[in-house]
Amino acid sequence: MPSRSDASGMLHGTLDALILKTLTWGVRHGYGIARWLEEATEDAVPIEEGSLYPALYRLERRGLIEAEWGVSELGRKAKFYRITPKGRRQLAADTEEWTRFSAAVSKVLIPSGA
Amino acid sequence: MTFGRRLRSRIWRGSVEDEVDAELGFHVEMRARELEARGMSPVDAHDAAVRRFGDIERVNATCRSIGKQRDRGMRRTEYLTELTQDLTFAARQLFHHPGFTIVALLTLALGIGATAAIFSAVQAVVLRPLPVPEPSRILAVYTAFPQGRGNVAAGNYVDGIEPVSSFAATTAIRYSSFNVADTAEAERIIGARVTAGFFDVFGVAPALGRVFTKDEDRPGAPNVVVLSHRLWARRFGGTPAVLGSQVRLGGQPYEVIGVMPQAFDFTAQTEELWVPMAFTAERRAMHDEHQYQVYARLAGGATPERALAEVRRNAEGIRARFPKEAAELDFAVATVMEEMIGEYRRRLFTLLGAVGLVLLIACGNIANLLLARATARSGELAIRAALGAGRWRIIRQLLTESLLLAVLAGAAGIALASWGVKALTAAAPPGVPRLEQASINPLVLTFTALVAVVCAIVFGLAPAVRAARTDVQSVLKEGGRGTSGAAMKDRLRTAVIVGELALALVLLIGAALLIRSGIALERVSPGFDPSHVLAARISLPGTDYQDPERVLQTFEQVVSAAAAVPGVSSASLTSQVPMGPGGNGNGLIPEGKAFDLRNSTQSRLRIVTPGYFETMGIAVVRGRALTAEDRRGSLKVMVVSESLARALFADADPIGRRVACCEPGPDGKTPDFKTVVGVAADTRWRGPAEPPSPEFYLPAAQIPAVAWDWIQRTLYVTVRTTRDPSTVINPLRSAVGPIVPGVPLFDMRTMEQRIGASLQTARFNTLLLTILGGLGVVLAVVGIYGVIAYFVTRRTREIGVRVALGATRRDVIALVVRQALWPVGLGIGAGVLASLVATRLLRNQLFGVGPTDPITFVIVAVAMTLVALLASFIPALRAAGSDPTSALRSQ
């Protein structure tokens, strides 16, 4: 198992954006989000599983996502999250920010015409 | 906020702790299952899942704390949302029922506005502390006479009060009016002679310059004067250049050394300048001329009780040393606020109580309107309840409506009050201390807001609680028609009516007692004829008029000039007119009794010229009036009033008897004797409400020279006119002016105006209480009408059945009026009982009628009953006139 450093400091904003993005495809519970992140990023983004939850609570408090209790695939009671319109706006802003950032970083790291 | 989020808060009823535990537990369990499916043993899978999760304790704690913040925020948002909803809904309700809204708003705004206006008067006059440091430590010290408190003699002040160790500072004050002459026009100004301690007692430093020192408060010291801010601004242009300049007061130059700050003008009537008292050695030895007002500031740690004990002990010493002059000397103390506000405290609080009762009656009416509306709305409320609104939620919503109503009414009330305060200060009698400073200030605003909220609870709570208690099922089954059966025996609504009637009756009985007092006062014969009499004062300055002969001659010229004015039928002079301020008194001892203070009768001295009895219309009931023959050198005479004659000689004939008074006789030891030549009718010289007290009259031509100093060479010119006395004012001024150049004729008023002024406070109180009583009755009657009309509407069907079964018009009217009998009877009964207690507050303002006068009580109670029944008669007539067929079809 690859060692996972706690990257919450560096990747804080990134994690929020990833969660929001995950929820644009539909309602999911916490474990579902964790699984999707693993698969989508192919474990390239090292996230300690536990740090997902404080991020979820914080997003909920800020009104970017909302939660309701429902029944999971296996018939267990689980807390499902859904993105709010405010969350979608935030995601759009974050994406734009990320694009600008990564473009700038790419320009430096990858010499043009190489 | 979206529906989902609110629903979540409804469904998830558990704590944040449970929520976090369940959620994290679910994650670990799901991970473990997945690992198990890949072939791990259950135990290994679980351990691995936990490991992968990381520091589960820390994550749990972080989530809990964020979750709690989230819930707090959510509750707040939820509360605000609901409040906004309630307010919107309330506003819509008020807007959709304009009739109800306008009636309720008007009633409440009037009540709240009147209450706020009266409260601002109470605050200005009674509640506001004096603008001096620690006003509660300033005491007024009095001489305690058997008849009450009085001023203090100079000798008793110097010996008995000044040296008291409980006092940090003391002062003796004598108010007097000064002829002020400088560059501007000559003016008569109220000022005060004060001892140097005055400024320490009140603890206020001058705004400009300085105040005078102990050394300047001595006979022979240079003349100095301290100006009030008011006088300085008005007469000296408010410039600092006034310091060091000279002002002529009573003909003598005074140097202006200081100006007091604006806040030291406690009221618009207080004195406007201060000069040193400068007691002479002679004055300091006087123990029986009680002329000075005394104030003292308590020393640190001293109490009023200790100070009183000390001054009383000193009084004992003075009594022992001066057994003649100070035979019964004793002192009393009061705080300066008590002294200044006195009776106004009780009067204003009575008024505030009365206006509060009117407001309560108004609240009662609105409560009844709301109760009626709540019944009509029971369908709507039942549906809300059925949809899940809790009882508290419904109460909250209904209270929000009441609150909105009260807040709107409060805002309108403030507008009314700011107008009301102006009207009140303009209409109030002069002399109410500090009333002119009443305004709508932050304290009044806060009070008004509080009153509005209390009103909302008073009239809103009962209807709200009752509406919330309504049984949902029964209302819905009745198809929203309301609980018609229960409404019939509506105890709550009846109780409100009973209360309203009782309160209105208390107000009305109070007003009726005051009105009867007013009538009794108007009927009192004052002992003189005030119609067509004009009086004005002249004060001759001591510097120009030192010679007593010259004073007498000048005054005799004044009176003959006044008599020659066209329209004047009789002119005379007097040292004091009835209702006039101040005045002098003497102890009289009839010939034959020992010269002992205990044998003396205190009596008021009037120094008059012969025509006075004719001018003032005072009857001479025995003997003769004074004549021009009663001059210096002839037999010294006096005229006594009837009550003085009785006090001195009982039933014996007073004519020709001799009385010792006023000046030492020729031998310098025994007093001088005057012979009684006539008996004059008693006058109510202190005002119609005060009983007459002994008076005696001396001819101005015979008084001793020193008497001119007693009265400060000040006399009233009184003239009886054949036409409207106000038309004589200017001719009188131009006739008298040239005789006394530079001396103003002041305090020019007719005797009717003087009596009017003495009755003004009583009339004003009567007027206000009558208005409040009338308002209370109108509101209560409207209330009864409303409730009975409501009963009739509710019983339309039943009445229809009765008529169809053969009930006559009379039967129907009787049925409805009977409905009103109980509450009216109970209300009147309760009102009479409450009045028996409440009217005691008016005791000091009543004249010729007791606070529980049975005639007043019966008349008012009967009138009130009739009016109340009349109010129920109108809906009864309407019920009797209704068509049974349509009545049966209704509902």
Cβ pair B26:A60 closer than 8 A? no
Strand locations in B457-600 (E): 533-539, 568-574, 584-590
Cα dihedral B867, B869, B874, B876 in deg (nearest 10): 180
Name B771's Cβ contacts closer than 8 Å, sequence gap at least 6.
none
Which tokens sit at A13? Answer: 């904003």
Full residue range of the structural domain in which residue A99 is found: 8-106
| Closest residue in chain B to residue A66, using alpha carbons only | B5
0.80 exceeded by the pTM?
Answer: no
Residue in A48, A61, A76 closest to B70 by CB: A61
* Domain assignment of residue A3, yes or no: no
> What pLDDT is attached to residue B516?
87
Asked if B650 has any chain A CB less than 8 Å from its own CB, the reply is no
Cβ pair A68:B11 closer than 8 A? yes
Asked if B72 has any chain A CB less than 8 Å from its own CB, the reply is no
Rounded distance, CA B526 to CA B683, Å?
6
pLDDT at B706 over 90: no
pLDDT at B7 over 60: no
Mean pLDDT of B52-62: 88
Phi, psi of B718, rounded to the nearest 5 degrees: -120, 135
Name B675's Cβ contacts closer than 8 Å, sequence gap at least 6.
B635, B636, B637, B638, B656, B657, B658, B659
Q: What is the least distance, in Å, from the CA of B771 to any CA of chain A?
A: 60
Query: What rounded mean pLDDT belongs to chain B?
Result: 84
Mean pLDDT of B468-473: 66
Q: Which residues of A touch B62 (CB under 8 A)?
A: 53-54, 57
Pairwise pLDDT comparison (B788 vs B169), residue with the higher score: B169
Asked if B692 has any chain A CB less than 8 Å from its own CB, the reply is no
Cβ pair B52:A30 closer than 8 A? no
Cβ pair B69:A51 closer than 8 A? no
* Domain assignment of residue A20, yes or no: yes
Name B27's Cβ contacts closer than 8 Å, sequence gap at least 6.
A30, A31, A34, A49, A53, B53
Name B721's Cβ contacts closer than 8 Å, sequence gap at least 6.
B532, B533, B534, B567, B568, B569, B727, B728
Kindly report, residue by residue over B32-47, the tens digit of the pLDDT: 988 898 888 888 998 8
Residue in B8, B53, B70 closest to A57 by CB: B70
pLDDT at B556 over 80: yes
Contact B823, B501 (CB under 8 A): yes
Residue in A30, A74, A82 closest to B23 by CB: A30
Alpha-carbon Rg for chain B, nearest whole angstrom, is: 39
Strand locations in B476-600 (E): 533-539, 568-574, 584-590
Mean pLDDT of B354-382: 83
> What pLDDT is attached to residue B10?
45
Q: Choose from B30, B47, B65, B72 for mutation: most chain A CBs within 10 A.
A: B30
Cβ pair A78:B23 closer than 8 A? yes
| Closest residue in chain B to residue A73, using alpha carbons only | B30
Mean pLDDT of B591-601: 74
3-state secondary structure (DSSP) of residue A43: coil
Contact B574, B608 (CB under 8 A): yes
Report how many domains make up chain A. 1
From the list A61, A69, A84, the residue with the least C-alpha distance to B73 is: A61
* Domain assignment of residue A112, yes or no: no
pLDDT at A33 over 80: yes
Phi, psi of B348, rounded to the nearest 5 degrees: -70, -35
Kindly report, residue by residue over B496-523, the tens digit of the pLDDT: 888 988 998 998 898 888 888 888 887 8
Report the CATH number that the domain containing residue A99 is assigned in CATH.
1.10.10.10
Which tokens sit at B716? Answer: 């009233």
Kindly report, residue by residue over B379-438, the tens digit of the pLDDT: 777 777 777 777 788 888 888 889 999 999 999 999 999 998 888 888 777 767 778 888
> What pLDDT is attached to residue B570?
92
Asked if B62 has any chain A CB less than 8 Å from its own CB, the reply is yes
pLDDT at A1 over 50: no
* Domain assignment of residue A84, yes or no: yes
Across-strand partners of A80?
A29, A68
In chain A, which among 2-21 make CB contacts under 8 A with chain B? Answer: 6
Rounded distance, CA B232 to CA B272, Å?
9
* Domain assignment of residue A2, yes or no: no
Kindly report, residue by residue over B710-769, the tens digit of the pLDDT: 787 888 999 999 988 888 888 998 888 888 887 778 888 888 888 877 777 777 778 888
Low-confidence winner among B136-140, B322-326, B454-458 (lowest mean pLDDT):
B322-326
Q: What is the least distance, in Å, from the CA of B389 to any CA of chain A?
A: 22
> Apex CA B466: angle with CA B377 and CA B819, to 5°?
85
> What pLDDT is attached to residue B671?
74
Low-confidence winner among B93-107, B285-299, B424-438, B606-620 (lowest mean pLDDT):
B424-438
Contact B53, B27 (CB under 8 A): yes
Residue in A51, A77, A82 closest to B4 by CB: A82
From the list B516, B503, B367, B513, the residue with the least C-alpha distance to B777 is: B503
Pairwise pLDDT comparison (A10 vs B150), residue with the higher score: B150
For residue B299, give the DSSP letter. Answer: P
Q: What is the least distance, in Å, from the CA of A57 to any CA of chain B?
A: 6
Q: Which residues of B touch A71 (CB under 8 A)?
A: none
From the list B229, B175, B219, the residue with the least C-alpha distance to B198 is: B175
The percentage of residues in chain B with a pLDDT greater than 70, rounded to a whole number, is 92
Mean pLDDT of A42-66: 83
Rounded distance, CA A5 to CA A19, Å?
19
Rounded distance, CA B447 to CA B444, Å?
5
> What pLDDT is attached to residue B307?
92
pLDDT at B583 over 70: no
ipTM, 2 dp: 0.84
> What pLDDT is attached to residue B719?
93
> What pLDDT is attached to residue B631?
86
Across-strand partners of B533?
B720
DSSP calls for B21-67: HHHHHHHHHHHHHHHHHTT--HHHHHHHHHHHH--HHHHHHHHHHHH
Orientation angle between helical segments B343-376 and B442-469, nearest 10 degrees: 30
Mean pLDDT of B187-194: 86
Contact B636, B548 (CB under 8 A): no
Name B215's Cβ contacts closer than 8 Å, sequence gap at least 6.
B221
* Domain assignment of residue A1, yes or no: no
Rounded distance, CA B511 to CA B776, Å?
11
pLDDT at A2 over 60: no
> Apex CA B600: angle with CA B597 and CA B601, to 5°?
140
Phi, psi of B750, rounded to the nearest 5 degrees: -75, 160
Position A6 confidence tier, pLDDT thresholds 50, 70, 90:
very low
Assign 3-class secondary structure to B185-215.
Answer: CCEEEEEEEECCCHHHHHCCCCCEECCCCCC
Q: Which residues of B touch A49 (CB under 8 A)?
A: 27, 31, 52-54
Asked if A94 has any chain B CB less than 8 Å from its own CB, the reply is no
3-state secondary structure (DSSP) of residue B274: strand
Asked if B52 has any chain A CB less than 8 Å from its own CB, the reply is yes
Contact B213, B196 (CB under 8 A): yes
Asked if B704 has any chain A CB less than 8 Å from its own CB, the reply is no
* Domain assignment of residue A114, yes or no: no
* Domain assignment of residue A63, yes or no: yes
Kindly report, residue by residue over B657-680, the tens digit of the pLDDT: 888 887 766 666 667 888 899 999
> What pLDDT is attached to residue B684?
87
Asked if A68 has any chain B CB less than 8 Å from its own CB, the reply is yes
> What pLDDT is attached to residue A7?
40
| Closest residue in chain A to residue B33, using alpha carbons only | A74
Position B880 confidence tier, pLDDT thresholds 50, 70, 90:
confident
Pairwise pLDDT comparison (A43 vs B764), residue with the higher score: B764
Cβ pair B54:A61 closer than 8 A? no
DSSP calls for B824-850: HHHHHHHHHHHHHHHGGGGGGG--SS-
> Apex CA B229: angle with CA B223 and CA B230, to 5°?
105
Mean pLDDT of B80-104: 87
What's the burial of B235, exposed, middle or buried (CB within 10 Å: 0-12/13-18/19+)? buried
Which tokens sit at B543? Answer: 């510097």
Asked if B50 has any chain A CB less than 8 Å from its own CB, the reply is no
Pairwise pLDDT comparison (B473 vs B445), residue with the higher score: B445
